[in-house]
Structure 1
Amino acid sequence: MSSTAPPPPPTTTPSLFDTTTLTSLASTVAILLAALALSRRVLDPRATPARLRALFVWHAFDALIHFLLEGSFVYHCLFSAAPVGSILAASAAAGGAAGGGDGVTGTGMGTGTGYWPDPVNYLGGGLKGGGAVAVAHGPQAGGENPLAKLWMVYARADFRWAGVDLTVLSLEILTVLFAGPMACLVCYDIARKSPRANLVMIILATAELYGGYMTFMPEWLTASANLDTSNFMYKWVFLVFFNGLWVVIPLYAIYVAADDIFDAFRVRATALGEKKAK
């Protein structure tokens, strides 16, 4: 009898346009349409400049993304846990695309092991069973929850979103608790025609630019070990386009707000000059 081991079962690569992916993209479009509908309901197009209407739509979209999508990510990282064995089995059935990690620090190395290990002592849990992590948190432990599955689609491009990366989770908690309410405040101020909107937009835009930097700089310093840029969908749609929105539009918001503030100073300077001339 031959002692040659049987070949391993073939692995499958998740489809770039499977039902979950298409549903995830459709949910983003639905959120944008909801923001657009809200702007048409609360803003008078004749009394609100086009650029403020656009920024209202953006900040309404921004708030909904933070609360609904990123809020679900934070929820799963804090409250969804599953045995590593079941996560590995689910990953194998899906083609092993969830990513991997070193099992100690919780920083994934893109090893393709099929799950993202919890950091040491995460939520006070520590390590169990002779150094093996007994359970893992995050969307990978969310089972059939639709929002968990949405994040697992994104985790094909950035493995860190499958589980708990401490930097990412810390930023996302701040995003949900701070950036979400701030975006709502911008919408409220634009609708009320309050000049405070300019100040809030600058604060929020600066925070989101910094958040984007802190999300990706660790990856760039480690040769993007946890990013999959092997195809158009992952690189240009998931990573570049969706993350690029939170760079380009906050910069535009800063430009609009700063221009309005500078204009107020110019008006004041003109008024003071005329007053002195009298």
Structure 2
Amino acid sequence: MNAAARSLARKRPSGRKALLATAMLLVAVASAFPLAWMVLSSLKTPAETMQVPPVWIPHTPTLEAYGKVAGVISLGRSMWNSFVIASITTAGILVTSMMAGYAFAKYSFPGRSLLFSLLIATMFLPPIVTLIPLYRMVGSIGLSASLAGIIVPNLANAFGIFLMRQFIAGVPDDLIDAARMDGASELLILYKIVAPSVAPAIAALALFAFVYHWNSYLWPLTVLQGNADAYPIVISLSRLLSYNRGALNTGLVMAGATLAVLPPLLLFVFLQRFFVDSIVGSAIKG
């Protein structure tokens, strides 16, 4: 009986692992299915996109839809606009979040706790609440209908400051004090000591910020006021939807969406290791 009990006890962990692996596989398949369907649909012929029951794998894959996308929208211009918006905004968020997070984590000044609490409170405001005030502010400084009008109000982010503050607080004070005794400036300390210590958090914040602002739709649409030359790819894709007639040009829409999702996807693949490290590090601290 004792031997049987020990054998059963050894089998239980493996059974749990198998169940967990199955659950993770199902979640991964469910998450990847829309992306896979989008890519496969972009390779189908118009007849295959209209076929009932639906065709899962295209019988005769074709890149014809990708060639047509540039003829319907200004693909290169729109992608460049999205890249400018997302990259500059992300860089600004990283700089302001690092500096403010460092100040909140390592400096003592009157009202620090209150100011940080107010900062956290702004994270609970729905973006639609600030849309009109931000639009009026952008118009008052002459940045309407321009990429600068989209970028400038988003160069600082409350979530980014909060995230950096939490990670920078874990950097040993002794390292910072030693650097100060050696005559290093605060910016040098931030760049040479603090930033390498919180590199996973920086990568995670860069990924979050880039993907969010690459996919942003309402704010750019509000600011640009019909300036089609400055449209990012997300807004330009809406022209593909209006161009679509029934299911005839579904492949065209899917091809445009596939091209639009490639830059954030490639960035995620590149920063995946740092992103996972940041999650593990925050779990250990918690």
**TM-score by structure 1 length?**
0.28
Larger radius of gyration: 2
**TM-score by structure 2 length?**
0.27
